[in-house]
Amino acid sequence: MEKLFTLLDANYNEMVGIRRHLHEYPELSFEEVETPSYIATFHRELGHVVREGVGGRGVVAILRGGKPGKTVALRADFDALAIQEENDVPYKSKIAGKMHACGHDGHTATLLGLAKALNAMRDQIEGNVVFIHQHAEEVAPGGAKPMIKDGCLEGVDVIFGTHLWAPTPLGEILVKDGAIMAAADKVEITVQGKGGHGAEPHHSIDAVTLASQFVVNAQQLVSRRIDPLKSAVLTIGHFEAINPFNVIADRVVLAGTIRTFEEEVRIQMEQELEAVLNATCLAFGASYEYRYTRGYPPVYNHQRETEFLAQLASTVPGVDQVITCPPFMIGEDFAYYLEKVPGTFFFTGAKKPEWETAYPHHHARFDFDERAMLIAAKTLGKATLTYLKEN
C-alpha cells in the first residue's frame, strides 16, 4: 500500500492541474463534449480499454490487472452547474454562467490521478478496476441510469464512490450504512383563478392569495401528517405571478422539491400534497394542475462494504477521523449503482483549516481544499487494492 500512496503523492500536482483545467472549462449536464474527450484521452494514454458515449456522454475505462481476480468499480461525475462564478482565483471559470460549484472537477481529477497510480502497479493488481466517469449527475434523470443500461456495471463485483464535502474539515471521512442521502423529487403546480381589478377583489378569484394559502397549508404535512420518527422535507422554491401591481392575478406557477428516505413516506407526500392543493382550490372555486416527478431514489449504502471502508479509511495518511454521519437530505444518482451491486458512498472532508465557514455547494463562491483529492484518492485506492486482495 505504501507504493500506492507514494505514487499518489507524486501525482498530486498533476491532479491539481487537471482539476483547475476542468474548473476553467465547465460543461453543463447533457452538454458535455470536451470533458469526456479529455478523460478518454487520459485513459487511452495509460493503455486502458476505453468506451466513450456510454449512456449518452459517459466514459468507462478498464484497467486489467496482471493477476486474475474480482472487479472493482470507482465512479466520479464531471458535470458543472449554471452558476456565474464569483471567486477571484487563477483558475476561475472562463465560461460565462457556468461553474464547477459542487466539486465534480475534483472528483474527476481524483479518479484520473488514482487511475495513473494504479496503472503503474498494474502487474501487482489481482483483478480489474473499472473507472466510471459519469455525465449529468446534477440534472434528473441523470447519467447513472443510462450508463448502467449501457453496461457500465457488467462484471462489476463492488463499487465505491466519494463526494468532496466542503462543509466538513479536511482530514475527516464521513460514512454511514443504510440511507445516507435522500430521494429527491420535484413538484410543479399551476393554480388557476380568475383575474380582476385590484380594487374589486369580489369579482375575481385571487390566485396569489390562494397559492399563498396552499404553501402555508402544505407545511403542515411534515409537522402533522408524517410520523415524527421519520423524515421529510417540503420546499416550495418557485412562486411566480407576472402581473401589474394593481391587477389580481388569475394564474400562479409554483415549483418545489420533496425529500424523503422511505418509500411509504414518499408516496404519502405525493398523495397528500395534492389533497391539500385540491382542498384549498375547492374552497375558493379555483382549479389546478399538479405534476409530481420522481427524481433520484435514496442512496442506500451496503453494511458490509461500508464497514470495510470505514475500517481501512482510518489508516489512510491524511485521515484524522472517520465519523458515522447522520443522513443528508441532498440527492445523488449514485443510488442507482447501489441498487445493482454492493458498495458504499462516502464524504471526504474538504474544508480548508483557515476557513471559519465554507461556502456551501452550489454557491457562486464555492471552493474546496485541493488536498482533499489526495485523501480521497488514497482512500479509494486502498479500498480497491484491499478488496481485490481479500476477495
Tell me what pLDDT residue 12 has: 98
pLDDT at 126: 97
Which residue from 259, 217, 219, 254 is spatially nearest to 238, judged by alpha carbons?
254
Helix (H, G, I), strand (E, B) or coil at 42: helix
**Confidence bin at 222 (pLDDT 50/70/90):** very high
Q: Please, which pLDDT band fits residue 339 given cuts at 50, 70 and 90?
A: very high
137 labelled catalytic: yes
Q: In what side-by-side order are the strands of the sheet with 232-240? A: 232-240, 251-260, 183-192, 287-296
Query: 81 pairs with which residues across the strands?
Result: 99
- Taking only the tens place, the pLDDT of each residue in 248-268 is 999 999 999 999 999 999 999
Q: Are 32 and 57 in contact (CB under 8 A)?
A: yes
Q: H/E/C letters for each residue in 310-333? A: HHHHCCCCCCCEEEECCCECCCCC
Three-state SS string across 176-213, please? Answer: CCEEEECEEEEEEEEEECECEECCCHHHCECHHHHHHH
Q: List the one residue out of 267, 222, 54 whose CA is nearest residue 152.
A: 54
- Tell me whether residue 88 is one of the annotated catalytic residues: no
Cell of 147: 450508463
pLDDT of residue 211: 98
The pLDDT, as a whole number, for residue 104 is: 98
Place 202 in a pLDDT band, splitting at 50, 70 and 90: very high
Distance CA 322, CA 93 (A): 33
Q: What is the mean pLDDT of residues 304-330?
A: 97
pLDDT value of position 118: 98
What is the reported pLDDT for 320? 98
SS3 content of the chain, % helix, strand, coil (to 5): 35, 30, 35
Mean pLDDT of 101-111: 98
Q: How far apart are CA 182 and CA 334, in angstroms?
A: 11
- Of 27, 32, 77, 79, which one is the catalytic site residue? 79
pLDDT by residue (tens digit) across 112-166? 999 999 999 999 999 999 999 999 999 999 999 999 999 999 999 999 999 999 9
Which domains occur in the chain, in start order?
A: 2-181+298-390 (3.40.630.10), 183-296 (3.30.70.360)
Identity of residue 343: G
User: Cα(first)–Cα(last) distance of the chain, in Å?
Assistant: 16
* pLDDT tens digits along 61-99: 999 999 999 999 999 999 999 999 999 999 999 999 999
Q: Give the pLDDT confidence of 226-250 residue by residue, as tens digits.
A: 999 999 999 999 999 999 999 999 9
pLDDT score recorded for residue 355: 94
Contact 328, 182 (CB under 8 A): yes
- Ranges 186-190, 242-246, 310-314, 341-345: which has the least confidence: 242-246
Pick from 10, 143, 5, 9: nearest CA to 76: 143
Is-cis flag, bond preceding 297, omega within 30? no
Mean per-residue pLDDT of the chain:
97
For residue 263, the model assigns a pLDDT of: 96
The percentage of residues in the chain with a pLDDT greater than 90, rounded to a whole number, is 99
* Selected catalytic residue, list 27, 77, 85, 137: 137
For residue 76, give the nearest of 363, 332, 387 by alpha carbon. Answer: 332
